[in-house]
Amino acid sequence: MATGLLIVNLGSPVSPSTRDVRRYLQEFLSDQNVITMPKMLWQPILRGFILPFRSWRSATFYQHEWTKAGSPLIAYTQVTRDRLRKKLPDWDVQMAMTYGGEYPIGETLQGMAARGDHPIVVIPLFPEYTQSTTKTILDKVAASGVKTLVIDQFYDQPAYLQLLAQQLDDAYSQDDYDTVILSYHGIPTSMVRHGDPYQQACEATTAGVKRYLKKVPQEKVEMCYQSKFGPVPWLKPYLRNRLMALAALGKRRVLVTTPSFVADCLETLEENDVQNYQTFRANGGKVFKSVRPMNGCAPFCDILASLAKEKVAAEAQNDETR
């Protein structure tokens, strides 16, 4: 019997073909934690308008980022898993994905339980909790019927904030920048109005990172949101609009980091490094540099391993006092 650890990321199409991307988008965009519109209204829009036009376009983006190892998000999650296995040699460390068909959450957990893993710690690889990512993971974990210990967010961990700050300081010291942007994946403002704590967590992440910065001037730091989807209002300021405004203001050297993404994916590699880069340059910007996400780096895996061990120790202590 071993202690189990399951890390969970969003997922990816199994290939960059239009057919596989369409299948992935249909699953993802049918999740009512992501799109809260009633199914009777949303599904005709999704199937009749969104999927026929968005699938082939998204497929071209996936084709640009695809590697020999497959999807970068999957590959870097595998790197994270493999590093954690070395750091936790007596544990059964596995990975799962919310969408995409590979590494299903329920089956993976049931397999771990069948091997006798106990306790099993689950860490969604989303630092800040939000309905549109973490809640679906928690729902699928609950549906598996396997008892688990869940760490549903870690944005407030000092070690994580210090690592983000160090990465930002290291990147900043390599060039001269007018503005440093912490860009988070956006969510609809309606979710925040209904109690989603994500915006508050993102603002706390930014404040926490700023406390640990040693080289980046505080006055150069700001935060934005990216990856808006659909016509409804999302959290602002929008990254793309802010980039255009900065260029117009003469702030033409920008450094961008993405604290809500722990692995490179479509949003970092295509949206930022291609589309937002091109937008910034087209409006007069000169330097647009992205700080790479954690991508399974050793210090990040150290943090995850420590969180898992602390969770198990705390649960054991609780059991003793019951």
- Strand residue runs (E) in the chain: 3-11, 91-99, 120-124, 149-150, 179-185, 221-226, 253-257, 287-290
Judge contact between 157 and 307, C-beta under 8 A: yes
The binding site consists of 185, 267
C-alpha span between 213 and 35 (Å, rounded): 36
Query: Which residue, among 247, 102, 143, has the nearest Cα to 122 in the 3D structure?
Result: 143
The binding site for Fe(2+) consists of 185, 267
Q: Percentage helix, strand, coil, to 5, in the chain?
A: 50, 15, 30
Q: Which ranges constitute the DSSP H helices of 115-265? A: 136-144, 158-172, 189-193, 198-212, 239-248
| Tokens 């397999």, residue located | 111
